Amino acid sequence: MKKFKTESKKLLDLMINSIYTNREIFLRELISNASDAVDKLYFKSLTDSDVSLAKDELAIHVSFDKDARTVTVSDSGIGMTKDEMDKNLGTIAHSGSLEFKSENVEAQGDDVDIIGQFGVGFYSSFMVAKEVRVVSRAFGSDEAWEWKSDGIEGYTISETTREGHGTDVILTLKDNTDEDDYDAYLSEWGLKNLIKKYSNYVRYPITMECSKTRQKPKPEDAGDDYKPEYEHYTETETINSMVPIWKRSKQDVTQEEYNEFYKSDFHDFSDPARTIKVHAEGAMTYDALMFIPSRAPFDLYSKDYKKGLALYSSNVLIMEKCEELLPDYFNFVRGVVDSQDLQLNISRETLQHNSQLRAIAKKLEKKIKGELANMRDNDREAYEKFFENFGRGLKYGIYMSYGMNKGELADLLLFYSAKEQKMVTLDEYVDAMPEGQDSIFYAAGDSVERLAKMPVVKAVMNKGYDVLLCTQDVDEFCFQAMMGYGKPAAEGEEFSEKQLKNVASGDLGLESEDEKKAAEEAAKESEDLFGAMKEALGEQVTKVSVSTRLTSADDAPACITAEGPLSLEMEKILSQMPD
């Protein structure tokens, strides 16, 4: 027996027990190695005219034996010589694949898409296996060798036989214990699930023998009392779908196909409202496919909801939900990002350089925003539905960033216009403002109907100004964070920002000189009355005064307004919040 080359057994222990957080990824690693081995052979066939390959030679096969507790991953790839086994499997953190990549770096081009690079993936087998055997025959050799190890002390290599070139990795799974159960890996559905989850887009077919049931043909002499009989049989099935839909160019994919992919991969039963496809080349090459759902997932506003896009590197799933790829206010977006340029951490479960991710995230955010703006401008009905589902999150986005995001997001907001009696954007509100109006007016409360009846709303409307009726608790906080709203100035124009004013608070500055004078006089006349009222109301009010907002057209003799930045509505919400 040979001891592991890297003397320290601690290192192996670390590999097996600390690097990976999720032991089911062992299958991903073995399949990735098999795919690399097939890739290397394929590459050889491209560069070496002596090598000709039949297409069906390029396959990966997964099987299991419940009684023997074995799981086997076989490939018809390039295989390993005895020396290569010794070097590549006997040395932890030695990657034959990385070597291959650097040796072929010039000729490589796009043809070789090797997944491996760290030389540790293979050892993840020992998370689930008490023994690992590797039977391999190198392409062009007629010798086959078996490498065997329990993952603790070392390994043995002995001569064996194998039909044809390629490699079988045979894991004997650990025994089940009270805490750990390995039976899922000894079942058709368990293995199928893992292949679909992590290796669905590996570019060679991954096959399995799958059990099936069929009705036996009806015998010709069957009588009237014939009951159909069934038989079991097995059939070789390709489990992975291979070509990732996000890598196909948009022209080649129908919306139907995108919809099906969305529904099956993101577990929604409705078609997405929008599909966004991105292909980027240059400093970072990546593909992204994103979806705006047509309805909010039931847990969107719960604490348990996790935002993020699935992250793939070279067609292999790295992370199901990579949070860094989406800002909070676009947390409803589902989708996939695939880049072979990402620098992955050794476990592949974390990333080394977040700056790469941040750069991608920024681009994607722009794309999402663009798509939403497009929907807002060209399909208002769909956009209103979108906004009903997800608008609240956009407003929070502005509020949570203290208004820093307002430029990005304010254009995407919709509010109910009292005048138009429909949802409008701030832009549309500003465009419709009559001469002389220099602020955007809004009122906040529980219902549009009730707000529309408020005397202060009516008073502003009577001046010919529109009022936005805001019924979500976040609305006013969002406006407070924004302070003002302005469209980016067109060329030659000066940028002017309109103040956002709550009709129920502060001084709106709408009264004419005459009205002001009249109010002052009325105040003087009623000084005693107001003094008595203030005394009667005590702490409940800060001041009783004459208002210029209530006109004779109003049926209300008095109104309550707030002083200072907080409106009554906001104070109500704040006082309801837990400390």
**Residues forming the annotated binding site?**
29, 33, 75, 80, 88, 95-96, 117-122, 167, 348
93 with 119: CB under 8 angstroms? Answer: yes
Site of interaction with ligand ADP (CB under 6 A): 29, 33-34, 37, 75, 77-78, 80, 88-89, 95-98, 116-122, 167
Contacts of 349 (CB under 8 A, 6+ apart): 20, 21, 22, 25, 318, 319
Which residue's CB is nearer to ligand ADP, number 33 or number 437?
Answer: 33
Q: Are strands 334-338 and 309-313 parallel, antiparallel or unpaired?
A: parallel
102 versus 161: smaller Cβ distance to ligand ADP:
102
Select the binding partner of residue 96 from Mg ion, ligand ADP, none (C-beta < 5 to 8 A, by kind). ligand ADP
The rounded distance, in Å, linking the Cα atoms of 10 and 248 is 44
Interface residues with Mg ion (CB under 5 A)?
32-33, 116, 121
Q: In what helix (H) or strand (E) does residue 211 lie, and over which residues does it extend? A: strand 206-215
Of 33 and 199, nearer to ligand ADP (C-beta) is: 33
Nearer to Mg ion, 84 or 379 (CB): 84
CB of 89 vs ligand ADP, minimal distance in Å = 6
Q: Which two tokens stand for residue 166?
A: 């390629």
Binding positions for ATP are: 29, 33, 75, 80, 88, 95-96, 117-122, 167, 348
- Answer with the entry of ligand ADP, Mg ion, none that 368 interacts with (C-beta below 5 to 8 A by kind): none
Other Cβ atoms closer than 10 A to 548: 19
**Among Mg ion, ligand ADP, none, what binds residue 167 when CB lies within 5 to 8 Å by partner kind?**
ligand ADP
Pairing of strands 129-137, 70-75: unpaired
Q: Nearest-CA neighbor of 78 among 63, 103, 69, 26?
A: 103
Q: Residue 457: which of 422, 417, 428, 426 has the closest Cα?
A: 417
Nearest distance from C-beta of residue 32 to Mg ion, angstroms: 5
Q: Provide, rounded to whole angstroms, the least separation between the CB of residue 37 and ligand ADP.
A: 3
Residue 318 touches which member of ligand ADP, Mg ion, none, C-beta under 5-8 Å by kind: none
The radius of gyration of the chain from alpha carbons, rounded to an integer in Å, stands at 34
Helices (H), 104-203: 105-108, 188-199
CB of 143 to ligand ADP, least distance (A): 15
Distance CA 564, CA 571 (A): 11
- Between 170 and 482, whose beta carbon lies closer to Mg ion? 170
- Cα(240)–Cα(236) distance, integer angstroms: 13
Question: Least distance in Å: CB of 29 to Mg ion?
Answer: 5
| Contact call for residues 387 and 423 (beta carbons, < 8 A) | yes
Q: Residue 33 Cβ, how far from ligand ADP at the closest point, in Å? A: 3
Nearer to ligand ADP, 39 or 466 (CB): 39
Select from ligand ADP, Mg ion, none the partner in contact with residue 327, using the beta carbon and a kind-dependent cut-off of 5 to 8 Å.
none
Backbone angles phi, psi at 59, to 5 degrees: -145, 160
